[in-house]
Amino acid sequence: MFQENAAWVILETVLLDPVPEQEHYNQIIEQDPEILDLLLDCANTRRDPPYAELQVDSRVAESLALMLNFPADIVPGVRVELVEDEQIQNRLGSRWEALMNGVEILTSRPEWCRKIDRIWKRIEGEDIDKVSEWIENAEQDYYATLPPDEDEIMAVVSYRADRHQLHNGSAISDVDLLNLLPITHAACQEVKDDDEVDDEDFKALAELEERHSDTIYRAGSRDPTRDDDDNEGDFILQINEEVLTGPICHIRILVSLAKRGIFEKVQQWNKAPKGLNMGGGGLRNVKKMLSDKEIKRSLDLCLKRMAQGREDGNELFREHKGLDEAQLRYWGTAQLAAVVVEFDEVTNGRYHVHARGARKELVLNLGNAAEMALGRQYWERALVFASAAVKLAEERKGGSSEEVGEAVLEKNKRRVERARFGGRTKRI
């Protein structure tokens, strides 16, 4: 319990309102980079029978993700030059540079990749049936005051999901990228839908909860002096469900490997390079994951997730009026579309048939995210998304199979004007 209280304190110290710029977190980390090592160690805290609901690992992982979080008005892979506002361009450029500086501090730590790998292996090796049994026996064996119910058991599953989403690609060594590949590959797999899971199959229900669990924290939400009804703060920690973040991270790794020419090199290797993790099949498994067949499968899955992500966003908005939740889904789906487009470009269209449709999805989701931002009066964010949607749509005009149509283009142009008008009144 003391460990868990400490973990919540760490999280609360980074859930600040107003939302600080990335440089704030960089300064904290730069003063003592060992903080990152300790956070990664804490994120690997194991679960024990007396208190299987332990949240130390996930809360610490969330804190680290918050310290190195994508700004909510940036979609990696979408050029900031698409916004015709020099001040906004400079601001977005500075935010991105600050984020990359923070990531560089993380990846400069000598054991960072190995620590993440250990976290992942512990998660994957955790037997959810055993955890469920621990929780159910807690009252009898350890005199728990209140017996847990199924919601608490499923909450543990959600905490596990938080840690699944902590992985991202960056400027790191070839071997480190290859060691991360099995992690992202495992997160880029088919997941059963609700109607395909037996209500009596707890393990399948638990996996479904893990893969579809997302995280949203509001600025200042943990501040006891703040009015609970104050709903004006911006969401500062946004982690989409693994069915989106898994493919995003996997294709980002593939983009980095393709840029370095690793695809061709790996297939020619007769022995693994020094430092390559030899567990789970070693070099043979890496070659399989980088084969044409497996890459095409991953891209096909990405296209499927894009369509589903946009539909999920539509449902969140139309049926539940969840502007923030819908914007998060559109934002994540736009990230997935953008990275597939980038992969198509860096591989010179080699897999274009399996990437077809990503450019259209990028425009549609950017436009929808802009609409949600307008509804919340985030004028600058809306302008960024809508401007990018307009420019990207115009690039595809002229009979392209990925053309979105004149009606969508005009709608996004109106969104640009609405964002500019709102921004003149109150700049956010």
For 40, residues 6+ apart whose C-beta sits below 8 A from its C-beta are 64, 111, 112, 115, 116, 119
Residue 384's domain comprises 298-427
Quickly list DSSP for 344-360: HHHTTTTTHHHHTTHHH
Identify the H or E element spanning 373: helix 358-375
- Percent of the chain clearing pLDDT 70 (strictly above): 81
- Indicate the number of domains in the chain: 1
The pLDDT, as a whole number, for residue 127 is 74
Within a domain: residue 317? yes
**Collapsed DSSP state (helix, strand, coil) of residue 215:** strand
pLDDT in tens, 145-171: 444 444 433 444 444 444 444 444 445
Alpha-carbon Rg for the chain, nearest whole angstrom, is 22
Q: What is the C-alpha to C-alpha distance for residues 232 and 240, in angstroms, rounded to an integer? A: 21
Q: What is the C-alpha to C-alpha distance for residues 396 and 390, in angstroms, rounded to an integer? A: 10
Within a domain: residue 393? yes
**Collapsed DSSP state (helix, strand, coil) of residue 216:** strand
The pLDDT, as a whole number, for residue 280 is 64
Residue ranges of alpha helices (H) inside 108-241 are: 112-125, 128-142, 150-164, 174-186, 202-211
For 384, residues 6+ apart whose C-beta sits below 8 A from its C-beta are 73, 74, 80, 83, 88, 92, 370
**pLDDT confidence tier of residue 17, bands split at 50, 70 and 90:** confident
* Other C-beta atoms lying within 10 Å of the C-beta of residue 288: 12
Running DSSP on this structure, what letter comes out for residue 236?
E
Within a domain: residue 17? no
Within a domain: residue 348? yes
Running DSSP on this structure, what letter comes out for residue 70?
P
CA dihedral for 306, 307, 308, 311, sign (positive or negative): positive
CA dihedral for 164, 166, 170, 176, sign (positive or negative): negative
For all residues of the chain together, what is the average pLDDT?
Answer: 84
* Cβ neighbourhood burial of 221 (10 Å; 0-12, 13-18, 19+): middle
The pLDDT, as a whole number, for residue 1 is 63
Quote the pTM value. Answer: 0.86
Indicate if the pLDDT at residue 339 is higher than 90: yes
The pLDDT, as a whole number, for residue 262 is 93
Mean pLDDT of 134-151: 54
Q: What is the C-alpha to C-alpha distance for residues 18 and 39, in angstroms, rounded to an integer? A: 24
* Other C-beta atoms lying within 10 Å of the C-beta of residue 58: 25
For 26, residues 6+ apart whose C-beta sits below 8 A from its C-beta are 98, 101, 102, 105
Mean pLDDT of 279-298: 90
The pLDDT, as a whole number, for residue 237 is 63
Q: What is the C-alpha to C-alpha distance for residues 323 and 374, in angstroms, rounded to an integer? A: 10
219 near 19, Cβ under 8 Å?
yes
Within a domain: residue 219? no
295 near 351, Cβ under 8 Å?
yes
Phi, psi angle pair for 374, to nearest 5°: -60, -40
Mean pLDDT of 281-296: 92
Q: What is the C-alpha to C-alpha distance for residues 390 and 177, in angstroms, rounded to an integer? A: 34
Mean pLDDT of 272-290: 86
The pLDDT, as a whole number, for residue 387 is 97
Angle at 197 between CA 196 and CA 203, to 5 degrees: 150
317 near 265, Cβ under 8 Å?
no
Q: Given the structure tokens 């966003």, which residue do they identify? A: 313
Within a domain: residue 337? yes
Within a domain: residue 411? yes
pLDDT in tens, 247-275: 999 999 999 999 999 998 999 999 989 98
For 20, residues 6+ apart whose C-beta sits below 8 A from its C-beta are none
C-alpha dist (Å) from residue 222 to 13, 93, 217: 9, 30, 9
In the chain, the amino acid numbered 393 is A
pLDDT in tens, 168-213: 444 578 999 999 999 899 989 998 777 777 776 766 666 767 777 7
Q: Which of 44-58, 98-112, 137-151, 387-401 has the lowest mean pLDDT?
A: 137-151
**Collapsed DSSP state (helix, strand, coil) of residue 235:** strand
Within a domain: residue 313? yes
